[in-house]
Amino acid sequence: MFTGIIEEIGKIKSFSKASSGATLVVNCHTVLNGTNIGDSIAINGVCETVTDMTNDSFTVRVSDETLFITTLAESKQNTCVNLERALTPTSRLGGHIVSGHVDCKGKIIEKEQLNDFYNLTFQIPVEQQKYIIHKGSITVNGISLTIAKINNNIFKVAVIPHTFENTNLKTLKIGDFVNIETDILGKYVEKFLSANDNKESRISMSFLQENGFV
């Protein structure tokens, strides 16, 4: 589990595909502190397990499914990636609950600079738009952001200077793809309200109205 508050920008040292999956090595420093083999690190929002470490890098094995769903399949040497270690019981939850299980790839379609602030606009697959809400949380390349505006499957986020300068958002160009994880709470609500999955559920529209949810 993660918070979406990026700890460090790392650089890809090497990426090699195999008959099944791939091996990814990332150069970094901060996220190695207290990390052991078997621990989880989010790479651009993708939860991966550390399989090897040196003084300035760590290695992960990336599954075929992850390569299909995320942007890790396009990894290139020296590309900047956002890094975050998994939560510990004493960590502050500075962003929102992030699982590191990417839902889809999105594409940046607009980048607007307002002095030192930025408005970034992304397009996601139509089937994912039901999970985004105005002022709701979303994870872009592992960064916890707040949705400022929605137009169908297009959403805009306002990015403060600190976040822009300390993540790889500053390297994005129009047309680049990013990893998107929508808010996990919306997925559970959908599951609970699904008539097919929960035929005997007592949760209904009238129940939500009576209890002040809508």
| CATH at residue 35 | 2.40.30.20
**pLDDT tens-digit profile of 124-137?**
999 999 999 999 99
Is residue 125 included in any domain, yes or no? yes
Note down the domain range covering 120. 104-190
pTM of the model: 0.85
Is residue 96 included in any domain, yes or no? no
Q: How many CB atoms lie within 10 A of CB 24?
A: 25
Is residue 118 included in any domain, yes or no? yes
One domain, residues 64 and 117: no
Is residue 43 included in any domain, yes or no? yes
Is residue 76 included in any domain, yes or no? yes
Domain count, the chain: 2
The answer, yes or no, to whether residue 172 has pLDDT greater than 90, is: yes
**pLDDT tens-digit profile of 110-156?**
999 998 899 999 999 999 999 999 999 999 999 999 999 999 999 99
Is residue 66 included in any domain, yes or no? yes
Is residue 59 included in any domain, yes or no? yes
Share in percent of the chain as helix, strand, coil (round to 5):
20, 40, 40
One domain, residues 125 and 161: yes
pLDDT at 190: 78
Is residue 200 included in any domain, yes or no? no
One domain, residues 111 and 183: yes
Beta strand 46-53 with 40-43: parallel, antiparallel or unpaired?
Answer: antiparallel
Report the number of secondary-structure helices (H) and strands (E) in the chain: 4, 12
Q: Average pLDDT, stretch 58-78?
A: 96
Instruction: State the burial class of residue 1 (Cβ atoms within 10 Å of its Cβ: 0-12, 13-18, 19+).
Output: middle
Which helix (DSSP H) or strand (DSSP E) does residue 21 occupy? none
One domain, residues 126 and 76: no
One domain, residues 174 and 120: yes
